[in-house]
Structure formats: structure tokens, C-alpha cells
Amino acid sequence: MKIFLAGAENEQARLTLLKIKAPFVFLSYFYLRERADTETVLEEFKKNGITMALDSGAHTFLAGIGESKATVVTGQPIKENPDRYCRDYINWLKKYRDYFEFYVELDIDRVVGYEKIKGYRNQFVENGLQDKLMVVWHYSIPDSVNEFEKMCQGFNFVAIADEPEPGRCSMLVEIGRKYKRKVHGFAMTKPDYIRRFPFYSVDSTSWKAGSKYGITYYLMGNKIEATNDKGVRRRIMNFDYFKPYEVKWEEVLKDKNEEVDKINAITWIEYGKWLNENQQDKYWEEPIVQKQEELIVSEIKPKVLPPEETRGKIKEIRERPEVREKWLAVMKNNLFAFKTGKYSTKLPLYCNNCYAKGKCEFYQEPQKEGDKVLCALRKDIFSEWFGAEKFDYREEDTVMETKNKIISYLLQKLALQSWFEMLDGGIQDKTATMLAATVFNMLRETKVQIGGMEINVNKKIAIAINNLDEKTRRRIIESLRQFEPSK
């Protein structure tokens, strides 16, 4: 995964990134077009072995309608004619295209409409700029998921913007995998995205947050941390990954913007190196079966199914008529990109919509279109499983049996969360931690139910009290209330 450091066209930022030889920088046509020394700037990056990518400057248009989230947008939004801007951009690229690994289309569908954007794309193609053109997915695109698949069929570089929820993002990345396209995540450097999805590249202006907001980034193990505590800067001075770089720590401690941005940039560079070295899923490097000019590659073959004993009886359970009917009812209005295109974040756990399918050994490919494959690590739990309708707190065996079932169920969930935590490269999952604490407390809990009331007493005493007559039992319960801690 490549982390492109954005905002590199600014003079101070440019000099900083040149000094530390940042491997990947993200420039903007909007600013470069105004420079008389554009070729000199690009040559300098190139001579230092720095890979460049180019943004179209679309955030300027989006800022004009209040749609831009970019932190680099400052001042009053300018007014540009989109058609003329696109023509100038194309003509500029015809001169400088060879300097860039990819260049981004003018993705302003919120401003001009998606049909106009497709017209702009045709202009890039007609001018021989298709091979490096990165086309961009936005929520605002009509029938956006199907349109993303069309993008993947026609272009080598595709991008996902707007930070879609993880389920939707997973679906889009899988489409990119299907066509072996290089998927870029715009401003997706949050751990939930950057370490969970196999992006080809991402970009970020976070490295400039030191001079803007006083934020310092640093690496702790394989995680990137952020703080505004100035004392942290003193503690990270001796971190090994800074040693190959020339850092003026006395200026860092004095809050000199250039040096603070430098240590942040170094941290992001080193984090990018770790991510790239540990990213095992680089599907775009796999051989393409069909010829490139056909622009559509063969679909990935389904993974070999694990042995039946590994998958348990999940297939048998899934085929039961009552189970299938129950789950299809749950799935109603939750289908995504099958036929209705509707989407919900509250999806049942299926292999179909699981973000980890590319790395999970239990993954099972649907055998036919529309088929839903239940997760092999998840047992089907029915409402009557706990026997709630015949539950009686007075029967010790019933209480203990139900408690054991609840603990068993939580342990299953804990195992599942722990499995996904491992697949995510060891990212700590708060849900798993909470489940572990809950199970631990249940195993050591001394509170029991007596006559419908929970009281912290010895279990044997509680059983003896339950065996007494109703009047005596109630009198004992009332007297025990005084020993309960006040809330």
C-alpha cells in the first residue's frame, strides 16, 4: 500500500518532502498550473526517486457548494468554468503526463451531474490519457455500485471517496479485486480503513496537522498514534525510525512548523513502509488471464472449501427450509447490489458481505447468483433456544443451564471477534475486550435470582430459601435488601 502525502505543491511542504525523500507525493493540478517552473518542480521530485500522483483540484469546485471535506481548502472558493477547466487540464496532462503514476479525473458530479462526468472521461480517452486516468466513486453517483463496476471494466485506476461505511467499502474493493484494478482510498488513513482493506494506495494531508493544529504523529509498535501533548515530542526523540533522517529536535521542541511537519511526514512514511511490507493481499499483482486491451479480466476462482469437519454443519443448517425462510425474511430490504441495490449497515453475517473474505480460510464462494452463504463461525440461534417461555427462576437446573448457554453464546461471539481481530493484523477490537470481561464476570458472579429478585448471596443459601414457603421466602428477601449496596 502506498501512502501519498498530499499538499506537496506548497513551497514549504515541497522542500520538506524533498529533504526526507518522501517516496510518494500527491500534487494538485489546480496549483501547479499557475507555476512558471512546473517542469523544474516535477524534475526535482523525479530525480530524487519520488513517485508522483496528481489530483484534478476538484475540491475547489466542491468547496463552492459546501461539499468539500478537504482540509487544504482555504479562503473564498473560486469560480471556474468546469468545461474550460477540464479542457485545460487535459491539454496540461498531454505535456506532463509521464511524470505521474496516475492522475485523477475531474470528479465533480455533485456540481455538473454524472452524465457530464462521463463526457469528461470520454475526452480523456479520446486524447490518449486513459491508461493512467483514475476515475472516482462517490455516493452521489446514480446506481453507484453498478457504475463502479463499469469503471473497473474500463480503467486501470479507480478510487473510492466519501469514506463509505465498512460494509459498502468492502463490496467496492471486492469489485476492484474481481477486475484486478488498483483501488485508491481518498483520505482513508483511519485504522478502520487503511489496515482493513487491501488498497493499492491512499492519500492524506494528516502529516501537515502539526503546523495546522499542533498534532504530533508517532509510531508505537505497528500502530500510528496522534497527540497534542508537547511532552510526547521529547519522549519520541530517541525512537529508532527517526535516526536515518536529519531532524532538528531543538526546533521541533520550539514548535517550528517546518520541523514539526517533517517528523510527522517521517512517521507517515515509516508507517507506510510497515503497511506495505505486511500487506499480504496485493491482488493487482496476480497474473491477468485475458489480454489487457480487453479491459475485463476473468473472475477470481472460488477458494477451495475447507474440509466438512472444519466448516461443521453450516451447509446442512443453511439448507433447512425453516432456517432459509427465517433468514431470507431477515434479509428482506437488506440486499445490496444483488438486484435492488438497497443497502443497510445492519446486515446478517454472510460470506457474501464479509470484508474479510479475501483472507479468511473459512470463506465460501456463493455457488450461484443470489445465493447467501452463512458464516461458518456463526451458529444459528433461535429465539426459543433459551427456553424463555418456560423459564422458572425457582429451578436451579434451569437457571444454571440457561446461564451456561448464555456464556457459551458469548464465548462463540468472543471467538468470532478474536478471529477477525487476527485477520485485521492484530488491531485491538473493543468488542472482543468487552465480551471477554463480560464472560469473566459471569463466571465469577455470585449474584443469583430468588423469586424474581437478584441478590448477592451464597448459591446454596439461595436454593434453600427458594424451597421455603412463599410467605417465609418473601420475608427473608425483604430482610436481605438492607445488605444490597445502594446505587
Tens of pLDDT, residue by residue over 104-127, are 999 999 889 999 999 999 999 999
Which carries the bigger pLDDT value, residue 472 or residue 13?
Answer: 13
To 5 degrees, how large is the angle CA 156–CA 280–CA 4? 55
**Whole-number Å distance between alpha carbons of 306 and 364:** 9
Tens of pLDDT, residue by residue over 293-340, are 443 333 333 344 444 444 445 556 666 777 666 655 554 433 333 333
In the block, which residue shows the cell 496528481? 54
Supply the CATH classification number for the domain 2-294: 3.20.20
| Nearest CA among 333, 354, 352, 355 for reference residue 344 | 333
Which carries the bigger pLDDT value, residue 300 or residue 164?
Answer: 164
**Whole-number Å distance between alpha carbons of 403 and 450:** 15
Which carries the bigger pLDDT value, residue 214 or residue 434?
Answer: 214
Query: Per-residue confidence at 460, pLDDT binned at 50, 70, 90?
Result: low
Q: Which of 179-183, 205-209, 324-328 has the lowest mean pLDDT?
A: 324-328
Residue pair 336/347 in contact by the 8 Å Cβ criterion: yes
Mean pLDDT value across residues 43-61: 92
Query: Per-residue confidence at 217, pLDDT binned at 50, 70, 90?
Result: very high
pTM of the model: 0.61
Domain ranges across the chain: 2-294, 301-377, 383-483
pLDDT of residue 343: 36
pLDDT of residue 473: 76
